[in-house]
Chain A
């Protein structure tokens, strides 16, 4: 079955950096676009970034552009969210997800908490 497992969350000071990882199994990793979605405490879902199956395409929500990079390693069935210049408003549970461009997000990980606080 499809499994997505996030890691790398934690507490970081404003201006700091963090790298989230998502380990995937149960499907042909290199066939799928992959996403990060976040949810601030008590708030709704916010789509953050996507990377295409072959890494050629990445898109980001405006609020993270220039501070965040999505990447993947198809040899390790793992993808990443590299976050820099973190702000308190980046505090959220970050979910990794699988989602072809044509059909949308179908499977989600369980989430990892990122807390940006001094």
Chain B
């Protein structure tokens, strides 16, 4: 199975900060990776697919990069509604696997 190592597990940040989250895959997954945002009590929402393509409804302050085994999600200027937990998901080979999640909290 492909392991996804996501870091950090949590971070404290302020409105306006630039934030970067990383996912590392245990083997090459090409660009078969998505990023998701989840708020408490709600289902996840996809922000990025194919590692770097912005989902149509997602704000442009979110961006993704990477290929192969290392991927990043960047929020260029954190907004109040961005305080949430973020997950990566690889869909290169079954079983599909999520990263452990990154919780962004208000500093």
Q: Which of A71-118 contact B (CB under 8 A)?
A: 95, 99, 101, 103-106, 108-111
A62, B1: Cβ atoms closer than 8 Å? yes
B50 contacts partner chain A, Cβ-Cβ < 8 Å: yes
B32 contacts partner chain A, Cβ-Cβ < 8 Å: yes
Q: Which of A27-64 contact B (CB under 8 A)?
A: 35, 44-47, 50, 59-62
With beta carbons under 8 angstroms apart, the residue of A50, A103, A110 that contacts B96 is A50
Q: Which of B22-75 contact A (CB under 8 A)?
A: 32-34, 36, 38, 42-46, 49-50, 55
With beta carbons under 8 angstroms apart, the residue of A62, A101, A105 that contacts B34 is A105
B89, A47: Cβ atoms closer than 8 Å? yes
Q: Separation in Å of the B76 CB from the closest CB of chain A?
A: 23
Q: Considering the complex, give the chain B residue whose CB is closest to the CB of A96.
A: B43
A59-B95, A60-B95 are known contacts. Are A45 and B87 too (CB-CB below 8 A)? yes
Judged by DSSP, the binding face of B is loop
A44-B101, A61-B95 are known contacts. Are A104 and B43 too (CB-CB below 8 A)? no
**CA A68 to CA B43, docked complex, whole Å:** 22
A104-B34, A104-B49 are known contacts. Are A45 and B44 too (CB-CB below 8 A)? yes
Q: Considering the complex, give the chain B residue whose CB is closest to the CB of A58.
A: B94
A109, B98: Cβ atoms closer than 8 Å? no
B98, A47: Cβ atoms closer than 8 Å? yes
Q: Considering the complex, give the chain A residue whose CB is closest to the CB of B96.
A: A47
Chain A residues with CB under 8 A of B89: 45, 47, 104-105
B residues whose Cβ falls under 8 Å from a Cβ of A: 1, 32-34, 36, 38, 42-46, 49-50, 55, 87, 89, 91, 94-101
